[in-house]
Structure 1
Amino acid sequence: MVLGDSRVGKIHFDPTAINFRCSVEEFYGMKYKAGDGNEYLLAMYDTGGEYELDHFRSLYYPRTDVFLLCFSVLDPASFDNIRTLVVIEQWAPEVADYLPSAATLVVGTKVDLRHDATVIDALRDRRSAPIQYEQGVSMCKDVGAAGYVECSSLTGYGINVVFDEVVRIGRELPVKQPRRPPRACIIA
């Protein structure tokens, strides 16, 4: 599941992914050949950045192994919101209840623009600066994530690293026990 504020670049990880849209969530499915040479089917759910739709998140938990916590390195508020989402809000206990074995990966997006003079000037005008790699690593430790990676969907930088980390983390998780078939009640 992909979490983070709107407009941080969550849905742009892979333009070749198969995209299914509806008003509440977006689903991306793709086959990915990882660095280990094996092919994996990755399914990503993006519930958007609209926090009024937070109650829909839990509907996707049963199908989730790794949560991607995304922020834009150009948007310090989106960075701070990761800590708020995980530490202050109900999200971490909520996930612990539903999926005690799930893992998280913190992802910094839009790194291609971190050193862009125009972007830096605009941030400076707002008395701000781009988030640096070391800050992302620190955030990863603060929220207890399994790792921190950076990427740019525009240039493709780090996209494979994101997916390779998802595969690595997912392979290290305990194997889920098969669920019992759902019980049915027929009313005639």
Structure 2
Amino acid sequence: MSRDPSLEYSQMKQKYEFRDPRATCIKCVLVGDSGVGKSSLAARIASRKFKEEYVPTVFDNYAATVTLDEKSFHFSLFDTAGKEDYDRLRVISYMNCDVFLVCYSVHERDSLADIEAHWVPEIKQYLPKTPYILVATQTDRRTPKSDGVDVQPYVSFKEASEVANRCGASSYVECSAMTSEGVSDVIREIIETVQKSVTCRSKEATCCGCIIM
């Protein structure tokens, strides 16, 4: 029986601290402009803690075992550098990736524009068949000021959804690593996207007479 999609983040991770040897392994690579919150999101998923200090990432990885619908999944989360200087180093982490989290910040419009201009083209260049999820980060910063006037025009859900459709993302999800709101949705989307991808590849292999081991 499937659980309620609104499942609380703490409930989703019943066996979070220990790796289950029977768990399905999922390699997830986070990409996006520098400073959009990739490291904070990875740390929140891996440790349930918010990474407050910003330190530009060159390369880092996190691990966590998540239990969902009575099944265990081991996440290997690869946090990559968003700066152009590290383009060649970053793509090394793409090997054997199961799903990408393509991240942008809701208060940085340029980071959303770069999804179509840079990040999706890069993914398609190196791993054209690997699915990717568009992830909005720092949604806590979308809250308007007390006088009802936004500090700046934040990216709306509708705008980002249109970008997700145009660039062929598997899905679109919003979250805040600081408050943890929406993080459970990110976890669920990772799992469901990989499961769908495996099913599609199995069907393709069956049609062409191949067998996936």
Identify the TM-score tier after normalising by the shorter chain.
0.7 to 0.9
Secondary structure at 2:85's aligned position in 1? helix
C-alpha contact 2:37 2:137 (8 A) present in aligned 1: yes
- Provide the alpha-carbon RMSD of the alignment: 2.6
Question: Can you give the 5+ residue segments of structure 1 that lack an aligned partner in the other structure?
Answer: 124-128, 179-188
Residue 103 (structure 1) shift: 0.3
Secondary structure at 1:58's aligned position in 2? helix
Normalised to the residue count of structure 1, the TM-score between the two structures is: 0.78
Name which of 72, 91, 103 aligns with 1:39.
Answer: 72
Change (3 A) 1:86 1:132: same
Change (3 A) 1:16 1:130: closer
Which amino acid counterpart does residue 82 of structure 1 have in structure 2? I
Secondary structure at 1:68's aligned position in 2? strand
Residue 160 (structure 1) shift: 0.6
Q: How many residues align?
A: 165
Aligned counterparts of 1:60 and 1:151: Cα–Cα separation in 2: 24
Change (3 A) 1:52 1:40: same
Give aligned-pair identity as a percent. 26
Name the residue aligned to 1:182: none
1:43-84: CA deviations, max 9, x gaps?
A: 111112112111123312223110000000011011111111
Aligned counterparts of 1:16 and 1:149: Cα–Cα separation in 2: 15
Name which of 45, 48, 57 aligns with 2:81.
Answer: 48
Name the residue aligned to 1:27: 61
Aligned counterparts of 1:16 and 1:140: Cα–Cα separation in 2: 22
Residue 90 (structure 1) shift: 4.2
Residue 16 (structure 1) shift: 6.4
C-alpha contact 1:86 1:143 (8 A) present in aligned 2: no
Change (3 A) 1:95 1:16: closer
C-alpha contact 2:106 2:136 (8 A) present in aligned 1: yes
Question: Can you give the 5+ residue segments of structure 2 that lack an aligned partner in the other structure?
Answer: 1-28, 48-56, 203-211
Name the residue aligned to 1:150: 174
C-alpha contact 2:102 2:119 (8 A) present in aligned 1: no
Change (3 A) 1:90 1:8: closer
Aligned counterparts of 1:83 and 1:5: Cα–Cα separation in 2: 12
Name the residue aligned to 1:84: 117
Q: How does 1:97-108 map to 2 (within 5 A)?
A: 100=129, 102-108=130-136
Name the residue aligned to 1:63: 96
Name the residue aligned to 2:187: 163
C-alpha contact 2:30 2:80 (8 A) present in aligned 1: yes
Name the residue aligned to 2:44: 15
* Structure 2 residue 125 is matched with structure 1 residue 93: yes
Aligned counterparts of 1:16 and 1:148: Cα–Cα separation in 2: 17
Which amino acid counterpart does residue 149 of structure 1 have in structure 2? V
Secondary structure at 1:11's aligned position in 2? helix
* Structure 2 residue 115 is matched with structure 1 residue 113: no
**Dislocated runs of 4+, deviation >4 Å:** 175-178
Residue 26 (structure 1) shift: 0.7
